[in-house]
Amino acid sequence: MVLRRKKPLHETAGSGPLLKLENLVKIYDTGAIKVLGLKKINLTVDRGEFVAIMGHSGSGKSTLMNILGCLDRPTLGHYYLDGVDVAEMTPDELSDIRNRKIGFVFQSFNLISRTSALKNVELPMTYARVPKAKRVERAHMLLERVGLGARQDHMPNELSGGQRQRVAIARALANEPPLILADEPTGNLDTASSIEIMELFRQLHKEGATVVVVTHEEDIAAFADRVIRFSDGQVQSDTLNTHHPGGGPDDRVEDMLKVEDMLKVEDILKEEAEDAD
Ligand SMILES: Nc1ncnc2c1ncn2[C@@H]1O[C@H](COP(=O)(O)OP(=O)(O)OP(=O)(O)O)[C@@H](O)[C@H]1O
Ligand SMILES: [Mg+2]
């Protein structure tokens, strides 16, 4: 079963870019030393973009994602989310934004242990005060969507890495956020699982979500339409991926996969197509 959205994901309140960073600086003050995490970043991301963030370890990717996800605040400069300066939001407004507008996916899944897949997916809806029956129904639909309907009562430790990440994505989608942020979502996964996860992001992007994914891998970044490379806390390059005809992600998927993996992906795509009917 495929979830139908009441309205497209990109329909959000403001006009102009969904994300706008203006001279944004992040300084980590550890007491003895100050670390410059981000140095005067200027960046905009429009609604409906699919962006990959790349760069060597320590270049500031997670620092950026934490700020974009309102998990951390800039030291200097401005971050406008949907036209609103995040610095001017109250803590309550911020947690509301995090819950309703942003779906965050982490490298290490961050599921709650000893809590079923279903309950993990329900959680953001619990915060949003969605009634129990509706929550359960929607959590089940989301798990179906990521191919885990039959696993809804499993605990995280009873799931594979790829399955855990799919639960985490279902959880990120719980409140239909217009923005999906994923910090190395495939960092702990094998090639086949990584592709399943990226296919999911690609589908969400097609449905109108704005998706920003951090990755170390060129093959994963190839799924995105735009690649921003960071170096030493600064934007080093910002380029558009040339997709299609011929050179699209489908071809890259084939390049990356062994035959047996390909069959698995084909099954998934077939199921998706049947579901979509
Ligand atoms: N909580 C923190 N306290 C102090 N310094 C930090 C903190 N978090 C990050 N840094 C520093 O900020 C810089 C950027 O770190 P960040 O985690 O954003 O890198 P990254 O690009 O995500 O790296 P990786 O690819 O290894 O995940 C690094 O020099 C790092 O040491
Ligand atoms: Mg990081």
Q: Over the stretch 78-91, which tens digit does the pLDDT of each residue have?
A: 999 999 999 999 99
The answer to whether position 174 is within a domain reads no
Contact 49, 180 (CB under 8 A): no
Which residues 6+ apart lie within 8 Å of 128 measured at CB? 99, 100, 174, 175
Is 43 within the bounds of a domain?
yes
Pocket test for ligand 1, best of 38, 54, 61 (most atoms within 8 A of CB): 61
Domain housing 75? 19-89+187-277
Q: What is the DSSP code (8-state) at residue 117?
A: H
Residue 107: inside a domain: no
Count CA within 13 A, CB hemisphere, residue 29. 5
- Mean pLDDT confidence for 27-46: 95
Contact 164, 156 (CB under 8 A): yes
Cβ(239) – ligand 1 distance below 6 Å: no
Contact 211, 205 (CB under 8 A): yes
CATH number of the domain within which 223 lies: 3.40.50.300
Q: In this structure, which ligand is nearest to the CA of 36?
A: 1
Q: What is the pLDDT of residues 182-222, one digit of tens each?
A: 999 999 999 999 999 999 999 999 999 999 999 999 999 99
The answer on pLDDT for 257 being more than 50 is no
- Does residue 225 fall inside a structural domain? yes
Tell me what the mean pLDDT of segment 216-237 comes to. Answer: 97
Given pLDDT bands bounded at 50, 70 and 90, which one contains residue 276? low
The pLDDT value recorded for residue 243 is 67
In this structure, which residue's CA is closest to atom 29 in ligand 1?
58
Q: Which tokens belong to 97?
A: 């934004």
35 CA from centroid of ligand 1 (Å): 9
Amino acid at 71: L
Tally of domains in the chain: 1
Cβ proximity of 67 and 74 under 8 Å: yes
Classify residue 209: in a domain, yes or no. yes
Kind and range of the H or E run holding 62 = helix 61-68
Does the residue 171 lie in any domain?
no
CB of 57 within 8 A of CB of 110?
no
**Integer CA distances (angstroms), 181 to 75, 103, 168, 190, 196, in order:** 21, 6, 12, 20, 17
Which spans in 128-257 are helix H?
A: 132-145, 161-172, 191-206, 218-221, 249-256
Residue nearest to atom 4 of ligand 1 (CA): 28
Residue 260: what pLDDT? 47
Which bound ligand lies closest to the C-alpha atom of 231? 1
Q: For 148-161, how does the pLDDT look when each residue is reduced to its tens digit (9 = 90+)?
A: 999 999 999 999 99
Query: Is 11 part of any domain?
Result: no
Please report whether residue 247 resides in a domain.
yes
